[in-house]
Amino acid sequence: MVLSELLIYGGKPLIGSVKVSGAKNSVLKLMAASLLTKEPCIIKNVPNLSDVQKMISLLTDLGTEAKWLAPGTLYLHNDQQLNYYGSEKLMREMRASILILGPLLARTNKAHVYYPGGCSIGPRPIDLHLKGLEALGAVVEKEQGGVLYIYTKGLKGNRIYLDFPSVGATENILMAAVLAEGRTTIENAAKEPELVELQRFLTAMGANIHGAGTDTIVVEGVKKLKGTEYSVLADRIEAGTFLLAGAITGGSVKVYGARADHNEALLYKLHESGSELNIGTNYIEEKNNNRPSAIRIRTMPYPGFPTDLQPQIVALLTIADGTSLITETVFPDRFKYVHELIRLGANIVVEGECAIVKGVCKLKGAKMEAADLRGGAALVLAALSATGESRVGQLEHLDRGYENFSDKLVMLGAEVERHN
């Protein structure tokens, strides 16, 4: 069996401009939210990702009519009785599949689902999802093999405090609450831009929601929702990845679609490491002709430094002047990619939730294997900086979250070849 790999001839600065695609971490939630109405929803700026295709398959299994009206424009319609059984195969493959839970409960009063899969970056329990739904009146029955049967006689609003500002839990509770009876208040809610987008999408459908983007979200339940047409915001993690690609290669990259207000923590750390930043109304440009400076990073829930950019900035710091300290507070197993960077000559020691990175002057090409989405992106960035030839295998991980990644790199002057 021939596995996909990226052949990279490194050592060239990336120069030029690139436009980021629609946000993976937004579109999957909007697709799940379409289950809340019997009317059609049209979602634009949808990236062509393997996770999007899996979500389409999952929604189709539940009874959704799904079709592409044009490249990037997705039509979803659920006017028939929904099947409340989630596909075990698809749910085991994708973390975001758990987001059908809230909509199914709100629409059908029951759901038969499985613990979700996704990248192997550490435990990501769904207990906060379940506690929140139980507070709305759901009954949760757990069966062997990671099967969940959840039902309700009718969801009713309640005051819910999240022990941790989980993005997924906030979203699932929010989607269930929009059709619940009465008022729901979610305290210590997640504040990510993708959550704000979900509120806007649901509001366009007729929901009554206030406070997304703050610690407290208040939902007044409505009887039903209508269809809508909506365009997905640009992917801030993809934007950050390309800004870091420019920095690690000593190039100059202008990223269209990147928003400074969605990337403040990254921009601060790029500036601290020595990058020059030019911020426009619809772009961010990064320049750095010098060796980056060592810095400290601590991942945190938004608006802190995003865990989804931790591997990529570690790649940058492998060639920094000095010793950097990176603390991972969100996903403790997110340093699994480190042993692959060491193949390039990186000097990294992992101690618990911390990685100590002693910068080297130069990385040298090597063969590596991606084990997850963002770790895979870090390997590609490091290979772009390294001298000589590198190979990055298991690109299926990258295909989950980066649309036309290798093509965009080529547009910036990278010497890369994809072999499927």
Q: How does residue 163 score in pLDDT terms, banded at 50, 70 and 90?
A: very high
Q: For residue 174, how far is the Cα from the chain centroid?
A: 18
Please report, in angstroms and rounded to a whole number, the separation of the first and last CA atoms in the chain: 10
The mean per-residue pLDDT over the stretch 355-372 comes to 97
Place of tokens 């403040």: 264
**Beta strand pairing call for 159-161 and 183-187:** parallel
DSSP letter (8 states) at residue 180: S
Please report which confidence band the pLDDT of residue 2 belongs to, taking 50, 70 and 90 as the band edges: very low
Domain ranges (residues) in the chain:
5-21+234-419, 24-220
Q: Tell me the CA distances in angstroms from 62 to 7, 65, 153, one per residue in order.
A: 39, 9, 21
Please tell me the distance from the alpha carbon of residue 201 to that of residue 216, in angstroms, as a whole number: 18
Fill in the amino acid letter for 26.
S
What does pLDDT average to over the chain? 95
The pLDDT of residue 115 is 82
Segment 208-216 shows an average pLDDT of 97
Q: With contact defined as beta carbons under 8 Å apart, do 91 and 67 qualify?
A: no
CATH fold match for the domains 5-21+234-419 and 24-220: yes
At 336 the pLDDT is 94
Q: How confident is the model at residue 118 (pLDDT cuts 50, 70, 90)?
A: low
Q: What pLDDT score was predicted for residue 94?
A: 87
If one looks up domain 24-220 in CATH, what number appears? 3.65.10.10
The predicted model gives 71-95 an average pLDDT of 90
Pair 385, 415: CB distance under 8 Å: no
Check if the beta carbon of residue 295 is closer than 8 Å to that of residue 321.
no
Asked which of 125-134, 158-167, 347-356 is least confident by mean pLDDT, the reply is 125-134
Q: Which residue has the tokens 């189709």?
A: 60
pLDDT for the residue numbered 117: 67
Residues marked active site are found at 119
What does the pLDDT average to over 353-370? 97
DSSP codes of every residue in 379-403:
HHHHHHHSBEEEEEE-THHHHTT-T
Which pLDDT score, from 0 to 100, does residue 360 have?
98
CB distance 163 to 135 below 8 Å: no
Q: Give mean pLDDT, residues 85-91.
A: 85
- Secondary structure of residue 359 in the 3-state scheme: coil
Average pLDDT over residues 128-136: 96
What would the pLDDT profile of 187-200 be if each residue is shown by its tens digit? 999 999 999 999 99
Mean pLDDT of all residues in 71-91: 91
Share of the chain above pLDDT 70, in %: 97
Degrees, nearest 5: CA angle 127-132-136: 145
Q: Is pTM beyond 0.85 here?
A: yes
Longest dimension (CA), the chain: 64
Measured in degrees and rounded to the nearest 5, phi and psi for residue 392 equal -120, 115
Give CA–CA dist 382/387, Å, rounded.
Answer: 10
Nearest to 59 by CA among 82, 41, 80: 82
Residue 92 reports pLDDT greater than 90: no
**CA-CA distance, 23 to 114, in Å (whole number)?**
25
Q: Say if CB 399 and CB 49 are below 8 A apart.
A: yes
* Integer-rounded Cα radius of gyration of the chain: 21
The pair of structure tokens assigned to 147 is 């099967």
Q: Right CATH number for 5-21+234-419 from 3.40.50.410, 3.65.10.10, 3.90.470.10, 3.40.47.10?
A: 3.65.10.10
Tokens of 294: 């060592």
Say if residue 1's pLDDT is above 50: no
pLDDT surpassing 50 at residue 205: yes
Instruction: Give the tens place of pLDDT for each residue, 285-298.
Output: 999 989 999 999 99
pLDDT of residue 119: 54
Percentage with pLDDT > 90 across the chain: 89
